[in-house]
A and B are shown apart, each in its own frame.
Chain A
Amino acid sequence: MSTISRDEVAHLAGLARLAVSEDELDTFAGQLDVILDSVARVGEVAADEIPPTSHAVPVTNVFRTDEVRDGLSRGEALAGAPATEENRFRVPRILNEEA
């Protein structure tokens, strides 16, 4: 069935923004392979005509009246931030990134 290579694991880790060591690439490739082999059994079920279920309870959008309510204060919102500056979240550089 599925064979997931080291390169694919590295690609997935990149997509998921996870730095992964060389050793971890091997471990995860082996483990993901075993898991995917097992869960791929869902493909044995004949389900072409079956509608998918994304949610157990049939929910549509839930609305409330459009009125102003208090949210978190600036101080509350910033209280857990790893770094702040001038009452804002301070982030590392985002411009001029190299690919």
Chain B
Amino acid sequence: MSSTTSVPDGPGSTELTGLAASELAAKIAAGEVSAVEVTRAHLDRIEAIEPAVHAFLHVDREAALDAARRADEQRANGTPASPLAGVPLALKDVLTTTDMPTTCGSRMLEGWTPPYDSTVAARLRDAGVVVLGKTNMDEFAMGSSTENSAFGPTRNPWDTDRIPGGSGGGSSAALAAFEAPLAIGTDTGGSIRQPAAVTGTVGVKPTYGGVSRYGLVAFSSSLDQAGPCGRTVLDAAMLHEVIAGHDPMDSTSVNAPVPKVTAAAREGADGDLRGVRVGVVREFGGEGYQQGVRDSFRTAVDTLTSLGAEVVEVSCPHFEYALGAYYLIAPSECSSNLARFDAMRYGLRVGDDGTRSTEEVMSLTREQGFGPEVKRRIMLGTYALSSGYYDAYYGQAQKVRTLITRDFEAAFGQVDVLVSPTTPTTAFRIGERVDDPMAMYRADLCTIPSNLAGNAAMSVPSGLSAEDGMPVGLQIMAPAMADDRLYRVGAAYEAARDAASEVSLLDRVPRLEVA
């Protein structure tokens, strides 16, 4: 079985945009195609279909082509920077870049160019990866649909009336629309995995501390984690190894060797899971889950069994309280982190007419600079941290966080990985949940526990839901610093899924044409 999953007949597939990152990397390394040609093909595709998708907030054609030229020169000199040298990538607009604006999807930072590079951006550059541009997102990464972007929603390439997930909907849509073969996301409660699930792509939240947060504009510091996104498990693994590893600039960065995720993905693609113990989380997947999601999950579990995995049911009794704990902890940290947007040192300033005080200017700026969801969370966090409420809300949520971590520890005492659906439903329609925050929050029901506990988790496509033809994601969870298990199991599952189907999943994305 091949270790790469190509997309032979997909949209733009006769062209370079249809290839997986691993395939592009191999062709570039072999001199069959130049990084400039590959980059130009993706830039052309972006230009053609962006009006229909709106995955990007900023595309820098010249800078991308310059980076591609450097990659070609290095290859010609026999010194390619990394195995992914010359391969294009879409970067979520929450990671700082000194050569492009960084807006976090907010009016507050419109037009701001940061004075320093995030470690993720710096490592991508050092690896010769070509950054095409910055992708759309829910404002400051708060949301599950990308509708909270101040610059307009991103559309799901599978059905442009539907959301691409969030907060990293721009990154996932760019992959599913074949605008980029690789992308970077960030995941605080599911913002990599949920968009991956609803767009039929692969997304990984590494172990907390596995990828540096330096230059990742903070939403909830104890939960935020950047990670790799791709159309195949192997592609995500190769990108994981570029961005992961200890960084002295992030005091929460784990000082330990990066798990061997690329080797694990290649090993997994052989399809042998004998000896691997898989736990199905009993609390996730029953009532309240779309039928097509449940069916797809059951089929995926059967596939894992057929590959030799030993599948058992595992109970994690406190997971049902994870959503509540998350929506107290994350807003609390958010209310503190976003206090930095004070209209004094960078970003927007409103109403400074010489008559208003600093406090009045601050309040007016924050009123006009932040959208409704960000304001809701700031106020929720302010409430949860207020004296008189602190113990009942924030304090209690932190104790529940301990119990969720213990549930994981007990489960990983019995099994090597846990599995669940990634999301309770497929992509919903744009506008459907904007006025119902709790309905929106429930999209992250299954992804949140891994953020609270800090362990590693992946979403890998498990097919299409029968009732609406939209993609469904299988979530795989592994203990902290055992990210390699995700890739082994994910790659094995992916290979079996593709072998069972005549057409590979992303070949079924509708061809997007712009009139």
- Tell me whether B346 and A81 are in contact (CB under 8 A): yes
| Complexed CA–CA distance, A89 and B248 (Å) | 29
Chain A residues with CB below 8 A from B367, complex form: 18-20
- Of the residues A24, A54, A98, contact of B222 by C-beta under 8 Å: A54
- Tell me whether B324 and A39 are in contact (CB under 8 A): yes
- Nearest residue in B to A14 (C-beta to C-beta)? B363
- Tell me whether A52 and B398 are in contact (CB under 8 A): yes
- Tell me whether A41 and B321 are in contact (CB under 8 A): yes
Given A52-B402, A53-B398, A54-B398, the answer on whether A42 and B325 have CB atoms closer than 8 Å is yes
Count residues of chain B with CB under 8 A from any CB of chain A. 73
- The residue among A12, A32, A50, A56 with the most chain B CB atoms within 10 A of its own CB is A56
A31-66 Cβ-contact flags toward B at 8 Å (1 or 0): 110111011111111010011111111010110100
| Complexed CA–CA distance, A65 and B250 (Å) | 15
- Of the residues A54, A56, A77, contact of B453 by C-beta under 8 Å: A56
- Tell me whether A89 and B345 are in contact (CB under 8 A): yes
- Tell me whether A42 and B321 are in contact (CB under 8 A): yes
- The residue among B248, B349, B379 with the most chain A CB atoms within 10 A of its own CB is B379
Chain A residues with CB below 8 A from B405, complex form: 53, 56
The A interface, classified by DSSP as helix, strand, loop or mixed, is loop
- Tell me whether B400 and A47 are in contact (CB under 8 A): yes
Chain B residues with CB below 8 A from A19, complex form: 363-364, 366-367
CB distance from A71 to the nearest CB of B (A): 10
Q: Is B151 in the interface zone, CB < 8 Å from A?
A: no
| Complexed CA–CA distance, A19 and B351 (Å) | 12
- Tell me whether B437 and A80 are in contact (CB under 8 A): no
Residues of chain B at the chain A interface (Cβ within 8 Å): 112-116, 208-209, 222-223, 248, 251-252, 254, 318, 321, 323-325, 327-328, 335, 339, 342-349, 352, 354, 356-364, 366-367, 370, 372, 375-376, 378-380, 382-383, 386, 392-393, 395-403, 405, 437-438, 441, 452-455, 480
**A-B contact list, 7 entries, CB within 8 Å:** A18-B363, A19-B364, A31-B437, A39-B327, A41-B324, A43-B396, A62-B251
